[in-house]
Chains A and B, each alone.
Chain A
Amino acid sequence: MIYEVFRQEREGQPFQHGGSLEAPDLAFAEAYAREFYGRRNESVALWIVPREAVREVDDPYVADVFDRDYRRVDGYSIKVKLKEARELAAKSAGAPSADESRPHSDAESG
């Protein structure tokens, strides 16, 4: 039986997929998961899930007809908009290198 192993690197962090393993039952899966992902202090917590319990979604694409970036869980990136605004400002000021003379701002998201 195949098991998927998820590991948490530090407390409070999200669990991430570590890999999969094959084991005859859950007890063996636990032992092997500890062995492969736990014994060098690389994980603070582990989840083991039988692969058959994982539902694979065939066609995850949902058509994004309208611009609703603001609804995205990661917020919408202002990097592109900021770049456009700077270019526009530089153009209207007639100084193409104005961008470089300012301290660089790394703001990425709202």
Chain B
Amino acid sequence: MSDRSTAERLLELADDELLIGWRNSEWTGIAPFLEEDVAFSSIAQGEIGHARAFYELAAQELGTDADTLAFDREPEEYRSAPLVELRLVPDWARTIARHWLYETADAIRVTALEESSSSEVAGLAAKIEREEAYHRMHADMWAERLRESAERKRFEAAVEELWPYSLGILPDSQREEFRATVGETLGLPLPDAEPFERGVHTDDFFPLWEEMTSVRRSVAGASW
């Protein structure tokens, strides 16, 4: 886990997973058709489950608990990548572009985690990968469908728009592999834009934080 603390790295992962799960869950009830509604909601729930597992490992390092990390931090303490903060409903093309970019990046990140020197982290990564393989299959399937549809241009524009955001998911060392994978599938040159890095939240993050933490904050310190 390079030179940064394990807890810091775990929090980035957990925050990304919580927020992408949250954003994907905004499609519950309004997805393009019922089967997809169920599938996408389930993927959203899967991501939040992964967030919980990462928060629990981070909480062990930091001497706290998962809920405190997930819901009791100030907005500036969240380490999420800007990509997962964006509110994209009701734009399905951009949602699939993000889903596909996120899952592709996440695969690289989780594979690297499986080599972690911490057996707990490596074990969790291997467990998560089994579920992520399904998420990836779903994302690839949709990306292919949109690429081969009449909405191809719209999907490609969405990928280009979100590309600099998606770079922010991964550390520098993993970005070349990511660029190669995405470029190869898309068959298009990817823009050389400046990546949106962690540490500066998008405007979309703040209302999300407000809503996400509102119930916990309504009765501070309560035990549920």
Contacts and interface: CB of A to CB of B under 8 A. Distances in A.
A24 interface: yes
Contacts of A36: 38
B217 interface: no
A39 B134 contact: yes
A32 B39 contact: yes
Interface residues of A, number: 12
Interface of B is mostly: helix
Given A24-B145, A27-B141, A34 B134 contact: yes
A48 interface: no
B35 A21 contact: yes
A88 interface: no
Interface of B: 33-36, 38-39, 42, 131, 134, 137-138, 141, 145
Interface of A: 21-24, 27-28, 31-32, 34-36, 39
25 contacts: A21-B35, A22-B34, A22-B35, A23-B35, A24-B145, A27-B141, A28-B35, A28-B141, A28-B145, A31-B39, A31-B134, A31-B137, A31-B138, A31-B141, A32-B35, A32-B36, A32-B38, A32-B39, A34-B134, A35-B39, A35-B42, A35-B134, A36-B38, A39-B42, A39-B131
